[in-house]
């Protein structure tokens, strides 16, 4: 068969595939625009998926033939473009709906946290040890706070939690609650992202950011306790800390997972190991973002509310800690007897 | 596809090879600068609009700042088109390195690892990684398994110019046939002098008649037409 015969015989199918693709690529935009009205009248010829798939496979076959028979480049180039576009349309995932989110929150995220418990342990220790050590050290020698924070920041802490004239939360209206909400989102999620991203440097970045943030938090706690503002501070942090501190540890653990893949890739190449680690870590990051959003909300609207007595805050805070730990430890475990089915199942 | 071309091939389940053309550091820098400009514009407009409001405006601005800083690329990469406005302007898009459309997890990973690419300053590690690798991946792309490619396809070969069909002087191998047809397809892109020069190399295939170059070209074009199937 000569190239001309080949082209004239198959051209109708290629044209049909091309127009279907154009309609689909356009249709996506059109349906979005017309989403308020009645469901867009879909042209069945353009939206019969089985037919589209058949056309696509036929085009793939034609491309393979054209390549092996060394047909002119303009022919193969057209087929390459066509198959490439069709491949993109056909293999696009479309299950981003609520069902996926629900499964992520109820099963995949807590399961993934448990599956990575070793990383959680290391990240937790790297975060908590500096926190307690610097906390104790600063408690006995408040001047040490200056080794982590500058003097201006330390003065602000005094101002915020001390019994001064304008302490945090007392005179604050609903407006500034919102400002703090925005501030916490930007700040804390940014910190969590850093803890994760630092992991690609063989885990060193994650270790550094975890330890640094632990030290920063610990020194503030120790300093304020030594100055006698302990109750104001602890009642402030106890509730959102349940979400915020765990989330930062989880983000750091996700970063350590990346680092471990590079240091000890096992039987994979380092690159393959890194890819696998990143796809596992992404699930942890989704959860981290959600937890930090919750934390920001609590921090802005509940923790700062000074009309709530510290006792109530401690109670609610304790409940939140129990809730978070229970969620991470127990949620999403397969029902008894289903272990075999779920074993080894991982969402990417 | 020679070893000079910076193309990446990915195999599709249908048994064909998808040819992907990774985008180099220059195109991606342009795209990044355009995006940076767009981000800055969004933030400036937002700060003016929200600044006139009370403190709620300030909160919205901080949230917007977070979104623009971290999630702007993720959002656009997951929309149809798989590219931020800057990439779209330069003609780039982001794919999985298997040629598949990008997944949400991969987009999140590649954009969070920007923080690592940015170090030690001004995307230093990212630039080094891109310059060292034939597929121009930065660290985020390596971890996420993504590839930034040129979206459009370039048409280097047009249809063949007309000429009276003419049988070759001897049987041509498949490779020779392909070379002659490819040469004819580049008629509109080559200068006439270069086109003739190349035609002369193929003289043995057309038949021995070392007359003037223009006639050799015509005859070779005739052979190309014959190879396509005109008689």
Per-residue pLDDT of chain A (348 residues; tens, 9 = 90+): 788 888 888 888 888 888 888 888 776 655 544 444 434 444 544 467 788 888 899 889 889 888 888 788 888 888 888 888 888 888 877 666 777 888 888 888 888 888 899 999 999 999 999 999 988 988 888 877 777 777 777 777 777 776 654 445 444 555 667 777 777 777 888 889 989 999 999 999 999 999 999 998 888 888 888 888 777 788 888 888 888 899 999 999 999 999 999 999 989 999 999 999 999 999 999 999 889 888 888 887 787 777 777 788 888 888 989 998 988 888 878 776 555 444 444 444
ipTM of the complex: 0.80
Chain A residues within 8 A of B181 when measuring between CB atoms: 3, 70-73
Query: How many percent of chain B have pLDDT more than 90?
Result: 24
Minimal-distance CA residue of chain B relative to A173: B55
How large is the average pLDDT for residues B98-117? Answer: 89
Structure tokens at A226: 């030594």
Distance from CA of B5 to the nearest CA of A (A): 16
Structure tokens at B181: 């047809």
Query: Which pLDDT belongs to residue A288?
Result: 92
- Residues of the domain holding B197: 174-228
User: Total structural domains in chain A?
Assistant: 2
Helices of type H across A91-116? 98-103, 109-115
Rounded CA gap, A175 and A177, in Å? 5
- Residue closest to A157 by CA, chosen among A141, A145, A170, A147: A145
Contact (Cβ atoms closer than 8 angstroms) between residue B114 and residue A197: yes
- Dihedral sign of CA atoms B40, B44, B50, B56 in order: positive
In this structure, the answer to whether residues A259 and A164 fall within a common structural domain is yes
Interchain proximity B144–A278, CB inside 8 Å: yes
In this structure, the answer to whether residues B51 and B117 fall within a common structural domain is yes
Interchain proximity A189–B230, CB inside 8 Å: no
In a domain, A348, yes or no: no
In a domain, B73, yes or no: yes
Tell me which residue in A71, A196, A275 faces B112 most closely, judged by beta carbons. Answer: A196
In this structure, the answer to whether residues B57 and B125 fall within a common structural domain is yes
In a domain, A159, yes or no: yes
In a domain, B155, yes or no: no
Chain A residues within 8 A of B227 when measuring between CB atoms: 2-3
In this structure, the answer to whether residues A163 and A305 fall within a common structural domain is yes
Query: Which pLDDT belongs to residue A217?
Result: 87
In a domain, B169, yes or no: no
Interchain proximity B174–A69, CB inside 8 Å: yes
Interchain proximity B62–A179, CB inside 8 Å: yes
In this structure, the answer to whether residues A48 and A119 fall within a common structural domain is no
Tell me which residue in A81, A186, A271 faces B153 most closely, judged by beta carbons. Answer: A81
In this structure, the answer to whether residues A67 and A194 fall within a common structural domain is no
Tell me which residue in A5, A60, A88 faces B101 most closely, judged by beta carbons. Answer: A88
Structure tokens at A324: 């978070």
Chain A residues within 8 A of B160 when measuring between CB atoms: 72
Rounded CA gap, A40 and A44, in Å? 12
Query: Which pLDDT belongs to residue A227?
Result: 81
Distance from CA of B70 to the nearest CA of A (A): 8
In a domain, B142, yes or no: yes
In a domain, A345, yes or no: no
Q: Which residue has the higher pLDDT, B58 or A87?
A: A87
């Amino acid at each position: 068969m000569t190239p001309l015969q080949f082209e004239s015989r198959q051209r109708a199918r290629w044209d049909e595939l091309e127009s279907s693709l154009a309609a689909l690529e356009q249709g996506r935009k059109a349906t979005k625009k017309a989403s308020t009205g009645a469901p867009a009248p879909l042209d069945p010829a353009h939206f019969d998926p089985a037919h589209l798939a058949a056309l696509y496979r036929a085009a793939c076959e034609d491309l393979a033939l054209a390549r092996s028979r060394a047909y002119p480049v303009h022919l193969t180039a057209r087929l390459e473009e066509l198959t490439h576009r069709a491949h993109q349309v056909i293999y696009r995932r479309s299950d981003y709906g609520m069902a996926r989110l629900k499964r992520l929150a109820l099963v995949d995220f807590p399961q993934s946290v448990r599956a990575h418990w070793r990383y959680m342990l290391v990240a937790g220790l790297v975060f908590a040890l500096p926190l307690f050590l610097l906390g104790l050290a600063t408690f006995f020698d408040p001047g040490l706070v200056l080794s982590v924070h500058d003097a201006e920041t330390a003065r602000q802490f005094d101002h915020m939690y001390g019994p001064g004239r304008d302490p945090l939360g007392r005179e604050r209206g609903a407006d500034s609650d919102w400002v703090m909400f925005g501030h916490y989102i930007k700040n804390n999620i940014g910190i969590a992202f850093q803890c994760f991203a630092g992991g690609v440097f063989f885990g060193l970045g994650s270790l550094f950011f975890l330890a640094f943030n632990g030290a920063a938090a610990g020194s503030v706690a120790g300093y304020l306790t030594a100055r006698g503002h302990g109750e104001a501070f602890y009642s402030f942090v106890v509730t959102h800390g349940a979400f915020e501190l765990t989330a930062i540890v989880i983000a750091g653990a996700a970063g350590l997972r990346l680092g471990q893949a590079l240091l000890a890739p096992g039987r994979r190449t380092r690159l393959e190991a890194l890819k696998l680690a990143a796809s596992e870590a992404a699930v942890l990051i989704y959860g981290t973002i959600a937890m930090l959003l919750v934390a920001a909300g609590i921090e802005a609207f509940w923790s700062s509310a000074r009309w709530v007595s510290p006792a109530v805050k401690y109670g609610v805070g304790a409940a939140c800690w129990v809730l978070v730990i229970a969620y991470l430890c127990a949620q999403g475990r397969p029902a008894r007897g289903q272990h075999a089915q779920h074993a080894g199942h991982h969402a990417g | 596809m020679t070893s000079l071309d910076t193309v990446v091939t990915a195999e599709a389940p249908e048994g064909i090879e998808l040819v992907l053309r990774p985008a180099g550091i220059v195109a991606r820098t342009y795209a990044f600068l355009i995006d940076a400009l767009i981000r800055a514009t969004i933030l400036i407009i937002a700060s003016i609009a929200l600044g006139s409001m009370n403190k709620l405006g300030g909160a919205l601005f901080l949230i917007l700042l977070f979104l623009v800083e971290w999630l702007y690329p993720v959002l656009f990469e997951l929309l149809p088109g798989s590219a931020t406005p800057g990439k779209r302007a330069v003609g780039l898009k982001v794919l999985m390195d298997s040629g598949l459309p990008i997944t949400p997890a991969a987009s999140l990973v590649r954009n969070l690892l920007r923080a690592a690419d940015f170090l030690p300053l001004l995307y230093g590690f990212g630039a080094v990684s891109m310059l060292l690798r034939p597929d121009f991946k930065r660290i985020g792309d390596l971890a996420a398994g993504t590839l930034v490619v040129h979206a459009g396809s370039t048409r280097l070969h047009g249809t063949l110019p007309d000429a009276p069909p003419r049988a070759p002087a001897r049987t041509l191998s498949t490779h020779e046939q392909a070379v002659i047809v490819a040469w004819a397809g580049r008629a509109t892109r080559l200068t006439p002098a270069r086109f003739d020069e190349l035609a002369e190399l193929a003289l043995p295939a057309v038949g021995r008649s070392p007359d003037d170059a223009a006639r050799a070209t015509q005859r070779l074009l005739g052979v190309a037409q014959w190879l396509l199937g005109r008689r």
